[in-house]
Amino acid sequence: MDSGRAFYIGRFQPYHLGHQFVLENIAREVDEIIIGIGSAQASHEQSNLFTAGERVLMMTKALEELSIKHYIIPIEDIQRNSVWVSHVISLTPPFNVVYSNNPLVICLFNEAGFEVRQSPLFLREQYSGTQIRHRMRTGKEWKSLVPQSTFDVIKEIGGVERLKMISNKDSV
């Protein structure tokens, strides 16, 4: 096992089993993981349904099963890619390796001199935030695609009803 602290970022709208799979793999390679919750300011939108706090709730319980030290840090968008890495560094514990499959994230961290590693995709067609939100909106089964904690939080806060409500057009 390498020693070190890794950084992994997602929007986690919602946190699903694809993310959990990636984190389980990262946990085999490093000592500690910093998880950035991207677009932390966004919520109550069709593509950004949950608040940062709701996403923290989903992840905290699921990550208890991962016996690795981790830190969850909400990170707001700054709409300025050229200084985004500095923005991340200003908010997080220090890290020496980045895990991502996102081309922009890879590009920005590479240019800043970080080692960036890619992790394998895990049944990407079904384990995808977009797919899960679509299933929630259209009344299809989605529980099997997320950890129990994500399901519990979405139920507790009325996430499906929220998504349907904000997807509606103005009504008289």
Binding residues for ligand ATP (CB under 6 A): 10-13, 18-19, 21-22, 100-102, 121-124, 127-130
Least separation in angstroms between residue 170's CB and ligand ATP is 25
Q: Which residue, 3 or 142, is less far from ligand ATP as judged by CB? A: 142
Least separation in angstroms between residue 32's CB and ligand ATP is 19
Q: Which residue, 121 or 172, is less far from ligand ATP as judged by CB? A: 121
Least separation in angstroms between residue 29's CB and ligand ATP is 15
Q: Which residue, 144 or 171, is less far from ligand ATP as judged by CB? A: 144
* Strand pairing class (97-99; 32-37): unpaired
Structure tokens that stand for 83 in this block = 């200084």
Least separation in angstroms between residue 46's CB and ligand ATP is 10
Number of Cα atoms under 13 Å in the Cβ half of residue 124: 4
Q: What share of the chain is helix, strand, coil (3-state, %, to 5)?
A: 45, 15, 40
Least Cα distance to 69 among 94, 27, 99, 32 occurs for 32
Burial of 124 (0-12, 13-18, 19+ CB in 10 A): exposed
Q: How far apart are CA 111 and CA 106, in angstroms?
A: 9
Q: Which residue, 12 or 84, is less far from ligand ATP as judged by CB? A: 12
Least separation in angstroms between residue 96's CB and ligand ATP is 19
Q: Which residue, 19 or 117, is less far from ligand ATP as judged by CB? A: 19
